[in-house]
Amino acid sequence: MSETKITVIYDNPTDPAAFESAYEAEQLEAARRIPGYLRLEASKVWPKEDGSPTPAYRMIDLYYPDYATAVDAVSTPEAGAFFEAMARLSTGGVRVLMSDVEVPSH
């Protein structure tokens, strides 16, 4: 059985310094409290060498053992707090995806 991954893609914020000042405490800590995940990955997109805007700014990936567990997780109060903070902090836009992981890393 394959895993399910929830990916949050934060587009470039209107004020990167304000986003960064709140990201760890308000977003990453909230993601850590969402139940049931196997692992969590947080990443920041490398800047482009030519100085042009990147296609995204940051990402958070939460891996679950299956789709049903991921669906259950996003309906919890902890996920509600995460999504509330996400909506508030993602001033440049945000995308949330649920994916079937076809080749798990372990």
DSSP-derived secondary structure for 40-68: EEEEEPPPPTT-PPPS-SEEEEEEESSHH
Phi/psi at 34 (nearest 5 deg)? Answer: -70, 130
How many separate domains does the chain show? 1
DSSP 83: H
Is the residue at 88 inside a domain?
Answer: yes
Range of the domain at 84: 3-47+55-101
Q: Does 38 fall in a domain?
A: yes
Share of the chain above pLDDT 70, in %: 96
Instruction: CATH number of the domain at 67, please.
Output: 3.30.70.100
The position carrying tokens 């409290």 is 33
pLDDT tens, position by position, 9-58:
999 999 999 999 999 999 999 999 999 999 999 999 999 899 888 999 99
Q: Read off the pTM.
A: 0.90
